[in-house]
């Protein structure tokens, strides 16, 4: 993967792919109920995000890892313990 | 910077996996681990199988850290389930090499005959 130039913008990721289908009746409900929520037994929301990897910044995409077991960890901030 | 200043002191050569950035919380919201009031991620951990399906998740508030060996145990258990094509289940406290259960009508009400809490390490 080619190294990506990093500007001054916030480095952040984006969710990809279609959202899980919501029942038609729920579509007029609050926005909160329409956001994607991860659940066991369901497809993990795909994403692509800039990532630090071995000395450089590369893009990492979850769906590139289909066929492998993946652990995704979120943590509050750098310099905290994990 | 974190990698240079601290992580390379814990792991030779630095962290061997990708450390992705989610400053806007887009990923965290999709995974239900974004704390809107503080603008930070909670300590979420997800095990995703080769089909892209979430098999396990654990979410903790920031002050308590995770236990990697427990994550690895869970991955091994799910790999075992997958290898058995779902015919075997791992009882509480299962470790690799331990007793597995074959769920079915014969096992209903009879788990006590084959598994006891004392078997958990």
| Model pLDDT, residue A34 | 46
Question: Which domains does chain B possess?
Answer: 1-41 (no CATH), 43-121 (3.40.30.10)
Q: Alpha-carbon distance B86 to B102, whole Å?
A: 9
- Closest CA of chain B from A73, distance in Å: 4
B49/A14 CB distance under 8 A: no
Tally of CB atoms within 10 A around B27: 25
Give the helix/strand (H/E) hosting B98: none
Query: Who contacts A25 (Cβ-Cβ below 8 Å, separation ≥6)?
Result: none
Checking if the pLDDT of B9 tops 50, the result is yes
What is the predicted ipTM? Answer: 0.82
Average pLDDT of span B13-32:
90
| Model pLDDT, residue B33 | 95
Pairing of strands A47-53, B34-35: unpaired
Checking if the pLDDT of A10 tops 70, the result is no
A69/B30 CB distance under 8 A: no
- Residue B98: left if φ>0, alpha if ψ -120 to 50, beta else—which one? beta
User: Chain B interface, mutation test: which of A73, A77, A78, most B Cβ atoms within 10 Å?
Assistant: A73
Calculate what percentage of chain A has a pLDDT beyond 70: 62
CA distance readout (Å), A4 to A8, A11, A16: 13, 11, 19
List of chain B residues whose C-beta atoms are within 8 Å of the C-beta of residue A54: 14, 16
* Digit-coded pLDDT (tens) for B55-105: 999 999 888 888 999 999 999 999 999 999 989 999 888 999 888 888 888
Facing residue for A42 by CB, picked from B29, B54, B62: B54
Calculate what percentage of chain B has a pLDDT beyond 70: 98
Name the B residues in 37-56 with CB < 8 Å from any A CB: 40-56
Token pair in block for residue B121: 């390490």
List of chain B residues whose C-beta atoms are within 8 Å of the C-beta of residue A70: 47-48
List of chain A residues whose C-beta atoms are within 8 Å of the C-beta of residue B79: 69
pTM of the model: 0.78
Top mean-pLDDT range of A16-25, B15-24, B48-57: B48-57
B48/A70 CB distance under 8 A: yes
Q: Alpha-carbon distance B105 to B101, whole Å?
A: 12
* Digit-coded pLDDT (tens) for A36-79: 679 999 999 999 999 989 888 899 999 999 999 999 999 988 77
């Amino acid at each position: 993967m080619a190294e990506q130039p990093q500007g001054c913008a916030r480095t952040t990721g984006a969710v990809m792919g279609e959202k899980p289908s919501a029942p038609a009746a729920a579509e007029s409900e609050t926005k909160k109920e329409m956001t994607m929520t991860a659940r066991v037994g369901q497809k993990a929301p795909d994403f692509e995000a800039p990532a630090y990897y071995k000395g450089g910044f590369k893009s990492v995409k979850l769906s590139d890892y289909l066929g492998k077991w993946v652990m995704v960890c979120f943590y509050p901030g750098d310099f905290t313990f994990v | 910077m974190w990698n240079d200043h601290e992580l390379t002191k814990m792991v030779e050569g630095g962290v061997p996996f990708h450390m992705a950035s989610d400053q806007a919380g887009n990923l965290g919201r999709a995974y239900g681990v974004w704390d809107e009031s503080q603008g930070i991620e909670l300590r979420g951990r997800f095990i995703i199988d080769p089909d892209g399906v979430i098999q396990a998740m654990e979410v903790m508030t920031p002050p308590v850290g995770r236990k990697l060996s427990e994550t690895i145990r869970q991955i091994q258990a799910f790999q075992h389930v997958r290898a058995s094509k779902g015919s075997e289940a791992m009882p509480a406290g299962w470790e690799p090499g331990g007793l597995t259960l074959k769920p079915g009508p014969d096992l209903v009400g009879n788990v006590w005959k084959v598994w006891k809490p004392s078997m958990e390490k």
